[in-house]
Amino acid sequence: QAVLSDMKQPDAKRLLRVGYEHAADLLYLICPLEQVDTSFAGLDVDFVPYANSERERLSALVERTYTNTLDVPALDGVRDMSDVLQGYEQTGEYSPDRWFFIQHAGEDVGCLLLNDHPMQQQWELVYLGIVPESRGNGWGEQATRFAQSLARGAGRERLILAVDAQNDPAVNAYTKAGFFELLRRSVFLKIFGT
């Protein structure tokens, strides 16, 4: 993979010429937490803490949330789930007590993965995914508000995340929750063995 500031760079043409594909434009969003409303009214999902012993459960759930994803769909099915979770763990400082199963009526409907960046006084929303049959209920927005509340409660100044610019439902939900664009990057992929 390669990440460039935009498609107009000469390197973009070089990458395309040697077989890379432009996979997505990522928006890096930031939300200052000092004025975020952290009250919760009418939550209809529960946030159940993850434990390292539940790796297989989380792996299967993340894989389900990738179905028909609008976040870099070019990666769907390319990476092994154990590699995906390991990558999520290596973003910032990982602790299982900041990872959650999102449940509705006792059933897993998604996951929320948060990591810390203490030197920058911020948490990162590393991954938020909802299974396809449960999308459109506002649960992603509820999870975002929950993440903001936790980060603020931990004394962090900001919550950050990256999202595919084409993922309109997610971008709209994050914007509604007080996030704004910090920067944008173009992602290029070359997938071998396909």
> What is residue 40's predicted lDDT score, i.e. its pLDDT?
67
Inter-axis angle of helices 168-176 and 139-153, nearest 10: 40
Report the predicted TM-score, pTM, of the whole model to 2 decimal places: 0.86
Helices (H) and strands (E) in the chain, counts: 5, 8
Distance (Å, whole) CA 61 – CA 111: 7
Strand partners, 24: 187
For the chain (length 194 residues), average pLDDT per consecutive 10? Answer: 68 70 85 84 87 96 89 65 91 96 97 97 97 93 93 96 92 92 82 64
Q: Does residue 80 sit in helix, strand or coil?
A: coil
Q: What is the pLDDT of residue 95?
A: 96
Strand partners, 21: 189
Structure tokens at 113: 């993965």
